[in-house]
Amino acid sequence: MHTYRAYLIGADSLVIEAKSICCDDDAAAIRSAEQFVNGSDAELAR
């Protein structure tokens, strides 16, 4: 398992929220982050 961080980016291009995600691979982390960001801009880091 890997730990990822999903960063929700606000209109001013600043991080407004972050969430830790534990997933087996990048594809699973992307799917999980998509639920968190709810259509907003985001960055995903490992």
The pair of three-digit structure tokens given for residue 17, joined into one six-digit string: 């929220």
Predicted local distance difference test score (pLDDT) of residue 36: 84
The pair of three-digit structure tokens given for residue 20, joined into one six-digit string: 């830790």
Predicted local distance difference test score (pLDDT) of residue 40: 85
Beta strand ranges found along the chain (DSSP E):
2-9, 15-23, 42-45
Distance CA 32, CA 30 (A): 5
Query: Residue 38: pLDDT above 90?
Result: no
Predicted local distance difference test score (pLDDT) of residue 39: 78
Under DSSP, the state recorded for 7 is E
Q: State how beta strands 2-9 and 42-45 pair.
A: antiparallel
Record the pTM: 0.82
Distance CA 17, CA 12 (A): 13
38 vs 24, more confident: 24
pLDDT per position as a tens digit, 4-37: 999 999 989 999 999 999 999 999 999 999 988 8
